[in-house]
Structure 1
């Protein structure tokens, strides 16, 4: 007699892992409690025991992304690195997570609640800055300057797409071209800044090259500010 297959019990972790897989493949718009339940082979109501509705599900996804960033940072940390190298590596590790989950920047920017691991994540950044000799005042200003770069993405200046969506780059550039007479500098910038095909992007103006440039620019500026601090 064949042994009966044992179904893995439903858990919050299993549900969120399935949600990440679904959203990676089809985007946030495809994520519903009913669809997730079907993918897991369970009744939709059973999900509510672990995730209280769609908002609870989205909050859980945000928690999962922060946990993944924290794990990636720990795995790529450079032992005995100076503060600039350490933070640079941290931000680039977070960037790799965002590139795996391009829906994550929109999700993190839209949640009304703070993901559970976010305070600890930023506390570690502060520890790196202060441990490197920056005052708490300068470290505080650094956090403001870093913004979302610390989480691996740059907030777009022009981002007409809804949270979690993707922007039609061609349509946006066409709109600007049509306004060339009234927006000469924006049009010239778009024409000059053509992203290389191999340069990974998370948005119209959030490429890997631009992300790394901005991180390095801020770290260099902080190092100069450190020299001037009392």
Structure 2
């Protein structure tokens, strides 16, 4: 007789991430997850007492994939660039994760430790805490591997041709920008304006600009 693998919080969360990867975060329910694990839904509540606890645990599980040891390099720009691109590789594996992280009501303790490490890298690289604070604001969500979208082609929901024509007339430059910046489907993207090329362009622009500010501060 086969021995059933004991249910644990880690096992539940690993299965939850796998389910979201296959079918999207909307498919992640306690009932569906229990079915995947071959258990009754009520048994999940011993490990995760509510749906929000499940979602928080899923976020922690994804973040744990890159919140480990940073790249072993001395240059602060290369170190942070490596960290942020490693985070992005994780987000591209789990494209539903940025939306879940952005909508989160709490910040996992591991994220505070991660950002403390980023500050340590900046200070060791010659930044004052004042300039390092500004750097964190400039980076936004990039340390977590994605950028939050400001505009989106479908931000307004379903629109008729007349609605789109009216929008083009009222907002000609935004409309032209959206039309010109729709990316090729082969570009690894987490949103219409969050392509790999643009992520790296913005990251390098910030790192180089911060280096100039650091040099001028001395």
Q: Is the 8 A contact 1:130 1:139 kept in 2?
A: yes
Runs of 4+ in 1 over 3 A off after TM superposition: 174-178
Q: Aligned runs of 1:15-94 on 2, under 5 Å?
A: 15-71=12-68, 74=69, 77-94=70-87
Match of 2:118 in 1: 125
| Structure 2 residue 214 is matched with structure 1 residue 226 | yes
Contiguous gaps of at least 5 residues in structure 2: none
| Structure 2 residue 190 is matched with structure 1 residue 197 | no
- Which whole-Å deviations, capped at 9, do the CAs of 1:55-89 have from their partners, x for residues lacking one? 11011011112111214xx3xx5433300011011
Per-residue deviation, 1:224: 0.8
Q: State the Cα RMSD in Å.
A: 2.2
Q: Is the 8 A contact 1:176 1:186 kept in 2?
A: no
CA distance in 2, matches of 1:156, 1:80: 31
CA distance in 2, matches of 1:201, 1:177: 27
| Structure 2 residue 202 is matched with structure 1 residue 214 | yes
CA distance in 2, matches of 1:222, 1:16: 38
Per-residue deviation, 1:176: 5.2
Further displaced range: 193-202 or 100-109: 193-202
| Structure 2 residue 88 is matched with structure 1 residue 95 | yes
Q: Is the 8 A contact 2:71 2:83 kept in 1?
A: no
Q: Aligned runs of 1:143-222 on 2, under 5 Å?
A: 143-159=136-152, 179-222=167-210
Per-residue deviation, 1:123: 0.9
- What is the TM-score normalised by the length of structure 1? 0.87
Contiguous gaps of at least 5 residues in structure 1: 161-166
Per-residue deviation, 1:177: 5.8
TM-aligned CA distance change 1:7 to 1:177, over 3 Å: farther
Further displaced range: 14-23 or 188-197: 188-197
CA distance in 2, matches of 1:80, 1:191: 40
- Which one of the candidate residues 107, 110, 125 is aligned to 1:114? 107
Further displaced range: 151-160 or 175-184: 175-184
- What is the TM-score normalised by the length of structure 2? 0.91
CA distance in 1, matches of 2:105, 2:164: 32
CA distance in 2, matches of 1:203, 1:31: 21
CA distance in 2, matches of 1:221, 1:32: 44
CA distance in 2, matches of 1:44, 1:194: 42
